[in-house]
Amino acid sequence: MKMDGVKGVGAGAEAAQFNFTAWESLTATMQPLLLNAISHPFKNCREDVSAAMVQFFGLTSSNASLFVPNHSKLLVSGFEATFAGFTKHARGEEGKKKYAAQDTLLRTLAHVIIHGDSEFYYEIVVTPLLRMVFDILDVYDSSTEDTEENEKVKVKAEVEVEVEEVELEVEEEDKGEEEEVEEESNTKNDKDIFNMARSTLSFIARRCLIKVDNATQIVDNLIELVRSVIEGEGGKASWQVRQAAIRFLGQFYATHLFLISPDQTEQIRALVVGLMGDKRREVSVSATSSFTVLLAAMSEEQCAKIVEEFAALAQKALRRKGKMLIAQARACNVLVASVLIRPYDVPKFVPVALGALAPHSFEKNAPPLVRQSVTKCISEFRRTHADNWAEHRLKFEISQLETLDDSVSLTSNYYA
């Protein structure tokens, strides 16, 4: 019986070794095939390819091995090599292949998050692929950026399309019809992949996927990634990329708050505040929304200190008469966020914030976007505090009530 037991152990080890060897052989065969199918033209096939990647690149605990890090690097480098072969404003057949590759990337990320052990592979898989997702947004909106340079890029891309069509010697009438159909297809693909990329970023940010023991390094890398994405190449990131990056950062902070250190919180705060004065309203609004998340996690004393700092900056900006427009926008948006985080209460810092905000709703020195933002904030404050205003008004000083009196959003009788 003892010998039988020894034989049983030996047979089990031999079977395990055989299974391991067979799996490694199958993996070595499948990985190149999957990478070559990244730009597959059929949607259902791309779905199968992305699901298979999680298995054959060792991103699940069921088939994890000592070679998992190498497999992960191979997956990332495969996507990088694929996208490196496309031009930034790809159109025609190249555009279709690029769209297919981007679709596979987003599907693969979703499978890694849902079906893989992403907490073990966040730094070596999720973070590198995130940069490619932001690149998708840059490709989509770079031709719609309201800058002279991007307008030139758009014209250049259109000229390249026309040159290709001339080289193909297409009949003039047919060429016009083909251009229209092709452009509609490109536009639809751009919009579809853009929306998928934004949804993927939100999905990842809202899922807590980081292990505690290596959280510090991963968060540092993500902060640096978002910083580089916001700055862009040569400091010219498109506004939709900036908006998506700052929304991702705010959502990520809310979900991973217990893993983020005070120093990292300060870095995140600096990035968010920096975009609260962005020239694009969409970006500044998203940054303000993200800043409310940071304020909601602070104590009342911390909020009061921030309000005091930016109230002084807002008042200084008014006195400088249009010479501190960006600082003025940042300060006002910070104060707006501080008011909106407590919609049915009046902490000590809210009267200070409103007192500093109110003049920006009617002063000519305030930019139109700032006046609109302040006016909307005060109107919202009025709506949420109307029922108990007799009690809430006691927390305001006379000078603060008089300033609110002059605001275009509120009647003098309301604060009388």
Question: pLDDT at residue 335 above 80?
Answer: yes
Tell me the C-alpha distance between 79 and 85, whole Å.
Answer: 10
Question: What is the rounded average pLDDT of the residues 341-367?
Answer: 86
Q: At 65, is the pLDDT very low, low, confident or very high (cuts 50, 70, 90)?
A: very low
- Calculate the average pLDDT of the chain: 80
Residue % of the chain over a pLDDT of 90: 43
Dmax (CA) for the chain in angstroms is: 99
Q: How far is CA 208 from CA 119, 223, 257, in A?
A: 9, 16, 10
pLDDT score of 106: 95
Tell me the C-alpha distance between 124 and 118, whole Å.
Answer: 10
Q: At 165, is the pLDDT very low, low, confident or very high (cuts 50, 70, 90)?
A: very low
Question: pLDDT at residue 323 above 70?
Answer: yes
Question: pLDDT at residue 98 above 90?
Answer: yes
pLDDT score of 70: 56
Q: At 16, is the pLDDT very low, low, confident or very high (cuts 50, 70, 90)?
A: low
Which residues have a Cβ under 8 Å from the Cβ of 361 and sit 6 or more positions away?
A: 371, 374, 375, 378, 407, 408, 409
Q: At 168, is the pLDDT very low, low, confident or very high (cuts 50, 70, 90)?
A: very low
Would the pTM count as exceeding 0.85?
Answer: no
Tell me the C-alpha distance between 250 and 258, whole Å.
Answer: 14
Do you know the residue count of the chain?
416
| HEC letters along the chain | CHHHHHHHHHHHHHHHHHHHHHHHHHHHHHHHHHHHCCCCCCHHHHHHHHHHHHHHCCCCHHHCCCCHHHHHHHHHHHHHHHHHCCCCCCCHHHHHHHHHHHHHHHHHHHHHHHHCCHHHHHHHHHHHHHHHHHHHHHHHHCCCCCCHHHHHHHHHHHHHHHHHHHHCCCCHHHHHHHHHHHHHHHHHHHHHHHHHHHHHHHHHHCCCCCCHHHHHHHHHHHHHHHHHHHHCHHHCCCHHHHHHHHHHHHHHHHHCHHHCCHHHHHHHHHHHHHHCCCCCHHHHHHHHHHHHHHHHCCCHHHHHHHHHHHHHHHHHHHHCCCCCHHHHHHHHHHHHHHHHCCCCCCCCHHHHHHHHHHHHHCCCCCCHHHHHHHHHHHHHHHHHHCCCHHHHHHHCCHHHHHHHHCCCCCCCCCCC
Note the pLDDT tens digit of each residue in 22-53.
777 888 889 999 999 999 999 999 999 999 99
On the CB side of 106, CA atoms within 13 Å amount to 23
pLDDT score of 252: 94
Q: 382: exposed, middle or buried (C-beta count within 10 Å: 0-12, 13-18, 19+)?
A: middle
pLDDT score of 64: 47
pLDDT score of 345: 87
pLDDT score of 232: 81
Q: At 363, is the pLDDT very low, low, confident or very high (cuts 50, 70, 90)?
A: confident
Note the pLDDT tens digit of each residue in 219-258.
999 999 999 999 887 667 889 999 999 999 999 999 999 8
Q: At 12, is the pLDDT very low, low, confident or very high (cuts 50, 70, 90)?
A: low
pLDDT score of 122: 83
Question: What is the rounded average pLDDT of the residues 379-393?
Answer: 87
Note the pLDDT tens digit of each residue in 112-152.
888 877 777 788 888 999 999 999 998 544 434 444 444 44
Question: pLDDT at residue 364 above 90?
Answer: no
Tell me the C-alpha distance between 155 and 153, whole Å.
Answer: 5
State the distance between the two ends of the chain, measured CA to CA, in whole angstroms: 98
Question: pLDDT at residue 265 above 70?
Answer: yes
Residue % of the chain over a pLDDT of 70: 78
82, amino acid identity: T
